[in-house]
Homo-oligomer: A and B are copies of this chain.
């Protein structure tokens, strides 16, 4: 099952971290941009080619260190169809290298629109009776559940059919997440209502995997360690995707609370920390971006594993 596979890849590599792929031209070393612009000019297509070179290079450098990558769709969308064409290639390349792919697109809608999103990222479409074609076929998708169960069920239905998983936004890492997500209604908090929805759907639609986690996971930010601790205790069946480590202020001693007593059930994201590691090396040209990314991914793994032993 999809969430089982994620847990297994984490155990194999003894590394509970995911490398975020959030390309922007500012983060890409000059020599890659030069190569891309020489081919396609300073155009959307040229920029997309620079994203491709950079993401492929990062995947090559990280493939035996991290269990998963998380492409952030927004950065590809800003290049329009040229960016999406490269996003398709990045997902395929990462899967080829044995990485688990979490598409970070935070989609959410209802009914047939929601089905279209599910099919876009986790399924596919049959064109006039032809076999199903999948533009992305990621392993997992992040989902925004503000619309309620109607906006989650089409995803879980497809997750069962195509053996996929989702991460539902529960408590995000940003400061203003408290405005809505921490509102208290009687004995409930908005973000636990979202987690409760995940648990209810898990039971109703039999979404549990053999390692004790549901196909519906939860996004819970590293920047709220006490929430992490409470949510871990309250929702043992939800796998956590934890953003906010590094640049946003979350530390290894904070994220340890995302894991259960076996060191299971969570994966911690780092995007800029790994992608932009080359900016902090002596070289400074970015020609060493792969070594720098790899070194940072190993440092991060070791940092977290000082607090978390993966059994």
Contact = CB atoms under 8 A, between A and B. Distances in A.
Interface residues of A, number: 74
A190 B197 contact: no
Given A46-B127, A113-B75, A149 B176 contact: yes
A127 B180 CA distance: 36
A25 to B, nearest CB: 7
A183 B175 contact: no
Contacts of A114: 74
A47 interface: yes
A107 B142 CA distance: 12
A183 B194 contact: no
A106 interface: yes
B108 A181 contact: no
A161 to B, nearest CB: 15
A203 interface: no
Interface string A165-200: 000010011111111110111101010011001000
A85 B82 CA distance: 8
Given A133-B44, A185-B184, A150 B127 contact: no
Contacts of A81: 81-82, 84-85, 87-88, 135
Given A128-B42, A197-B179, A151 B174 contact: yes
Given A108-B106, A183-B185, A190-B190, A120 B78 contact: yes
A38 to B, nearest CB: 12
A232 interface: no
* Most-contacted residue by chain B among A24, A135, A173 (CB, 10 A): A135
Nearest to A149: B176
A24 B193 CA distance: 33
Nearest to A272: B112
A296 interface: no
Given A111-B174, A125-B47, A75 B116 contact: yes
Interface string A123-162: 0010111100101100000001111111100000000000
Contacts of A54: none
A265 B101 CA distance: 43
Q: Please give me the 9 A-B residue pairs with the lowest Cβ-Cβ distance, nearest first.
A: A80-B135, A148-B176, A81-B85, A74-B116, A148-B179, A81-B84, A78-B120, A77-B120, A149-B176
30 contacts: A22-B112, A25-B128, A37-B128, A42-B127, A42-B130, A43-B133, A44-B135, A46-B127, A47-B127, A74-B113, A74-B116, A74-B120, A77-B120, A77-B121, A79-B125, A80-B136, A81-B81, A81-B82, A81-B88, A84-B84, A106-B108, A144-B146, A146-B181, A147-B174, A148-B177, A183-B190, A184-B186, A185-B185, A185-B190, A190-B190
